Structure 1
Amino acid sequence: MSEMNYGPEQFQAETGVSRETLERFETWRRLLEETSAHTNLVGRGTLAEFWHRHALDSWQVLELLPEAARWADLGAGAGFPGLAIAFGLMERGVEAGHVLMVDSVDKKMAFVNQVIKETKAPAIARADRVESIHPVPEMDVVTARAMAPLGKLLGYVHPFVEKGAVALLPKGARYNEELTEARKSWTFEVEVLPSRTSPEAAILKIRGLARV
């Protein structure tokens, strides 16, 4: 099935989400489409592929550590994957579950806050530079999607990992090259997990992160 033909019915069948959770995703999709008419949030060409390229791609991150309650999403953009994770925490009734989403672009965090308000998602959207966050909160997981090359990205997630978080970092087809380059500056344990949305992509599960 092509990404263009993948819709809410397929997403629900593949993830098993409730009708209420599906409605939250639909609210997010609608607001994204409305806001993108005048504000650049994501690539315009990807709007028609929302359910596969954005919703499912984000949801799969949550499923890798479903027991985790406290999540940080760095460079959150229009809320991928943070909002999907927040919806999942609601779906599963995770006690004290919440997501901190950080992005330096005010208009993107304003959009995310609008989605949070309409869906009552357990999340906070903060317009700030990641390196300005102080003190760094204790989190179970830190994630970032399409934020920076791995070597640079590890610098952003390092303060969270130092405080006990596991890093879950979705990466595209060049993830092996990025791993090789990152190892020049960092030591870490990594588990390469296959992506559900692209055979060439992977999600890197990283612990034990330290500078060389």
Structure 2
Amino acid sequence: MVDEIELERSADDPEVMEFLGGAHATIARFASMLADEGVTRGLIGPREVPRLWSRHLLNSAAVASFLPPSGTVVDIGSGAGLPGVVLAALRPDLDVVLVEPMERRTVWLRHVVESLGLPRVEVVRGRAEDLVGRWGADVVTARAVAPLDRLVPWTLPLLRTGGVLLAMKGDRAVEEVAAAQAVIASHGGGDVQVISAPSIPGCGTTVVRVRRVGPIPSAPRRAKRR
């Protein structure tokens, strides 16, 4: 029980305020939106509200330490806005694209972006695999989207050569990497690392970082309809 109690955090927690720095007020507003509208819109479960900070917001914020000094971040399957909105608040100097295929979620994301005043954030409705060629992103982020062997073919084509995929994963990260080695190599990926993202105690996450080091194979042509 001690570990579970330690995980519980709130907006007025001094460690949370220090960790988030100047982005604290914006992320606290986002937390309030998630706990209210996010629940009524079905974007987050009611049972997640008490652990919103520890499991979702601070977990997402931990990824910020791996972002580049400048460039474009594409967040795939943004859903409620995690981690994309949190990262945009922490790094207002970056261009952030929130990609989400479901219309009701893109409506929510545009509402959040406007309400929080995030001018360098774009919301795009679509699937990652249908958006190849639209960006040469420096970073692609993904949280709870798909296993790595499915995620890699969707995301590496969105990256420029040298760009990185930051996939937020749980305890099975090492096993996922092992199962996806062939897929990673065949899709131009390399320099794969499983790393712990720093945060306040009990609120970090595990990130699989995959760098695009080579060309992406051509997608097979779709058969024409008769």
TM-score (norm 2): 0.81
List gaps (5 residues or longer) in structure 1: none
Q: Against the structure 1 CA distance between its residues 207 and 46, is the aligned structure 2 distance closer, same or farther, given a 3 Å change threshold?
A: same
How many residue pairs get matched?
A: 203
* Alignment partners' CA distance in 2, 1:191 and 1:116: 32
* Cα distance in 2 between the residues matched to 1:139 and 1:38: 33
Partner SS for 1:49: helix
1:165 is aligned to 163
Tell me whether 1:40 sits opposite 2:42 in the alignment: yes
Any residues of structure 2 matched to 1:68-147 within 5 Å, and which?
Answer: 68-90=70-92, 94=93, 97-121=94-118, 122-147=120-145
1:55 is matched with which residue? 57
Q: How many Å apart are 1:181 and its aligned residue?
A: 1.0
1:12 matched to 2:27 = no
The answer to which of 198-207 and 164-173 deviates more is 198-207
- Alignment deviations for residues 75-134 of structure 1 (CA, whole Å, 9 cap, x no partner): 1111111111111122xxx2xx21001011111121111110011112111121111215
CA distance in 2, matches of 1:164, 1:117: 32
Which stretches of structure 1, 4 residues or longer, exceed 4 Å deviation after superposition?
Answer: 197-201, 209-212
Q: 1 CA distance for matches of 2:36 and 2:81?
A: 15
1:206 partner amino acid: V
Distance 1:47 1:199, change over 3 A: closer
Structure 2: which 5+ runs fail to align?
218-226
Aligned-partner residue type, residue 14 of structure 1: F
Ranked by relative contact order (alpha carbons within 8 Å, sequence separation 6 or more), the top structure is: 2
Counterpart of 1:116 in 2: which secondary structure? Answer: helix
Code of the residue aligned with 1:183 in structure 2: it is Q
| Correspondence for 2:182 among 170, 181, 184 | 184
Is the alpha carbon distance of 1:14 and 1:200 closer, same or farther for their aligned partners in structure 2, counting shifts above 3 Å? closer
Q: Is the contact between residue 143 and residue 167 of structure 1 (CA under 8 Å) also seen in structure 2?
A: yes
Select 2:146's aligned residue among 145, 148, 155.
Answer: 148
Residues 177, 31 of structure 1: CA spacing in aligned structure 2 closer, same or farther, 3 A cutoff?
same
Q: Which has the larger radius of gyration?
A: 2
